[in-house]
């Protein structure tokens, strides 16, 4: 999402040559009462006025038995399944 070229910042085809765009990253982790771990990783780009001009969000959900579900924010504003897997060495065998 972020690429730097010398003194320019390029984000989603927008070039910031005056340094008025800022990248803000937020990482939140929580374990619920059932032992599920939820990690919310958000990255936002804001202009000098505090207006969000771009962003991305990935939520990872891991159950106590090792099932991992990852969703990402789509262009439509909804979360979409990116990956669903079992952490190696966990879970029940059939």
Domain ranges (residues) in the chain: 21-86
- Using the predicted structure, report yes or no on whether residue 11 has a pLDDT greater than 60: no
Give residue 3's pLDDT. 39
Q: Are 70 and 80 in contact (CB under 8 A)?
A: no
Question: What pLDDT score was predicted for residue 34?
Answer: 93
How many angstroms separate the CA atoms of 72 and 74, rounded?
6
Looking at the whole model, is its pTM more than 0.85?
A: no
* Strand-pair category, 3-5 with 79-86: unpaired
What is the CA 13 to chain-centroid distance, rounded? 19
Give one word for 34, left, alpha or beta, with left for phi > 0 and alpha for psi -120 to 50: alpha
């Amino acid at each position: 999402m972020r690429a730097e070229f010398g003194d320019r910042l390029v984000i989603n085809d927008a070039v910031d040559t005056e340094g008025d765009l800022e990248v803000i990253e937020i990482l939140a982790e929580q374990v619920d009462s059932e032992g599920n771990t939820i990690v919310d990783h958000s990255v936002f780009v804001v202009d000098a006025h505090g207006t969000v001009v771009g962003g991305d969000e990935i939520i990872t959900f891991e159950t106590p038995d090792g099932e991992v579900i990852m969703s990402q924010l789509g262009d439509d504003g909804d979360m979409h399944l990116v990956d669903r897997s079992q952490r190696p060495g966990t879970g029940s065998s059939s």
